[in-house]
Structure 1
């Protein structure tokens, strides 16, 4: 058994890396406005930063799984993340936009290692069981703590000192994560080590195929992607909602309430003994998120809306905890990192789509948009239930019942993974 300090060190690593990632949205937009007088360049740079996630996720997972020393792979990824943030801090508004976009895209390629890859390392710190389940609850809490601390700290440092100082602070946080990663006491993954190395192309296809064929992974991935189309539109919608309620500028308060609720929800689940099943958590969380946002759409004032956002965030925290546990429990060791990175990449892409769809929204349509977001959460809960029920009659073997070497069973002709 690894020492408890290993889990604590992991949580410190994850918080530092994710704080840097979460703060980037505020940092690049603020820095662009500071140097150019317009936030437009920051929006383009942010898009370039997020865009590579869905394409880089399978490659990141395959590369991490094939790495003989995964600790060094993550040190390199986090170090590259830190360098890209520093390069953007120096280049936004000072170099031609295509150059800044290229730097952002390069840094974004390291994103899957931060968003999903890190979570897969918990299985190298703890064996399956109650302790690992609780570790994933704490990991989900770290996601939400970073979502609160990253933008908040970036905004405060930008206002008190300067936007470039804030960006360099985020770079330092990512560099700190790289240093902590080098000290993690990772267990050797013996099940994965017995698998013969496959060609990279086969590894890339394997992760996606596992997500599609394993019923629990397919259900949670489809449901969370549908839900995150709505969550991606939530920031824009919250700003418009606050304006419609007569408190322009309170949109940030609503999103802070949502993030704080998510943090409280994940911390609460981490303390439950025994932990509820992840399937039940996912369903309750999706329904609760939808109900909280539906209540916010009917709220007569910002304080009431903020309370509803807090409830919705707490339920969204349950969904994240459940998602991490399901990925860990139902993916074979050989492709576990790919499952985590692919799932995270798809969610980020779904959120980006939701953000685009919210672009045409107006103040008068804020309540309708928020209601639609709530409906998407309920639809995600229904989709999750339907996929799980239909999959019970599926004759295909699942990754959760993999053969001893960590590979899924034979499945359909031509579906071999290695």
Structure 2
């Protein structure tokens, strides 16, 4: 299978899996409200679904990197993901709450494979250079397209046949992804098999790779800060729409944000600009913050939606840049761990933001949205400062070219560059 065909098949696979994940945020709450008469348990189930991401991400990455047949490993993880969704469709409101929360937590442990884990496969499917840059831009588009399609699919299915059916539809999509991933051209075996000690070392190595690379450390910290704010955006959008006299308009604002993000990432995939990943990331964070800061100043909901769409465009740039930076600066041996750790931390940061606005929000859409915007701008400042700081990675030149940005990595006492990186020039 050629690289182009492999990327196309990957796009379909990732879309099915991520549509299921995005749809769960809506579907499980609707299901709990339908069967239990309130959404409170749905929120707890959703929290149980999201909470394991940060803990499961390093282990998922280490196991994926050590798998003799990566396709089979991902198929098993996605099948477990689909099975947990299907079990929730049956069990919510019919089994005791602790059992339901346990099922949700098991499904959530597969979440890092759906997000960052799948993204890491692109380095095995596409060639370095423009082809891989375009692949990661398409991958960012998949994230954003799933953010639009997942909730929409759940809502339409629930309206047509009930929330239980909506959750079941999402389980079918995840199962389809499990079947498709077996067809991806990534089934080459690694040179050696791992024992449990190797896996434990890989857990540490993945975290160490993120910490010791100035670029990975900076983009991970900055995106976590930015997503702490974005995790509160849905609640704030509902408040903002209510302040404009349209209590049901919060969903339209978030749809505008998701569509804008999709447009931003698709534009990068289509135009392939020469801007560095670093500049794209900085522009994405700063632009998102400025656009969200303008939203509460808009006098009507359509103008608010325009500001949200503009913010989404910049968020699409940030996601594409983040994926590229992880691919460019992760050592080949820890690339999967870097992707899963980064995705798990971002999702956990978003969950923290959602909890903070629920527990300590000001109740004012304008003030809460200003706080979210400030966090995006602060993330941009943090990114610039952390890239300039001379820290643990003293061998990292910190430049913006592909060769200068390729850090040297300490692996088992030796310093070696990533296999697909250019040699570091003096």
TM-score bin (small chain): over 0.9
- Within-5 A mapping of 1:262-273: 262-273=261-272
Pairs aligned (count): 408
How far apart are the structure 2 equivalents of 1:273 and 1:249? 37
Cα pair distance change 1:382/1:362, threshold 3 Å: closer
Deviation string for 1:132-173 (max 9, x for gaps)?
Answer: 000000000000000000000100110111111111100000
Contact 1:124 1:187 in 2 (8 A): no
Instruction: Give secondary structure in 2 for the equivalent of 1:271.
Output: helix
Q: CA deviation at 1:392?
A: 8.1
**Cα RMSD over matched residues?**
2.1
Q: Does 353-362 or 121-130 show the bigger shift?
A: 353-362
Aligned residue in 1 for 2:69: 69
Aligned residue in 2 for 1:38: 38
Contact 1:78 1:177 in 2 (8 A): yes
Aligned residue in 2 for 1:219: 218
How far apart are the structure 1 equivalents of 2:414 and 2:283? 30
How far apart are the structure 2 equivalents of 1:32 and 1:346? 27
Instruction: Give secondary structure in 2 for the equivalent of 1:409.
Output: strand
Contact 1:288 1:312 in 2 (8 A): yes
TM-score by length of 1: 0.93
Whether 2:86 is the aligned partner of 1:80: answer: no
Whether 2:137 is the aligned partner of 1:131: answer: no
Q: CA deviation at 1:3?
A: 3.8
Instruction: Give secondary structure in 2 for the equivalent of 1:348.
Output: helix
Deviation string for 1:358-386 (max 9, x for gaps)?
Answer: 00466851100100100100000000000
Aligned residue in 1 for 2:406: 400
- Within-5 A mapping of 1:300-339: 300-339=299-338
Aligned residue in 1 for 2:422: none
Structure 1, unmatched stretches of 5+, are 411-418
Contact 2:113 2:340 in 1 (8 A): yes
Contact 1:48 1:108 in 2 (8 A): yes
Contact 2:35 2:93 in 1 (8 A): yes
Contact 1:232 1:355 in 2 (8 A): yes
Contact 1:332 1:406 in 2 (8 A): no
Aligned residue in 2 for 1:413: none
Aligned residue in 1 for 2:19: 19
How far apart are the structure 2 equivalents of 1:260 and 1:408? 46
Aligned residue in 1 for 2:277: 278
Q: CA deviation at 1:128?
A: 1.1
Q: CA deviation at 1:277?
A: 1.3
Deviation string for 1:192-212 (max 9, x for gaps)?
Answer: 737987622211111111101
Structure 2, unmatched stretches of 5+, are 398-404, 417-426
How far apart are the structure 1 equivalents of 2:348 and 2:374? 20
Q: CA deviation at 1:316?
A: 0.3
- Within-5 A mapping of 1:48-197: 48-186=48-186, 188=188, 193=191
Aligned residue in 1 for 2:415: 409
How far apart are the structure 2 equivalents of 1:328 and 1:206? 16
Cα pair distance change 1:363/1:332, threshold 3 Å: closer
Contact 1:61 1:117 in 2 (8 A): yes
Instruction: Give secondary structure in 2 for the equivalent of 1:303.
Output: helix
How far apart are the structure 1 equivalents of 2:161 and 2:114? 27
How far apart are the structure 2 equivalents of 1:156 and 1:361? 33
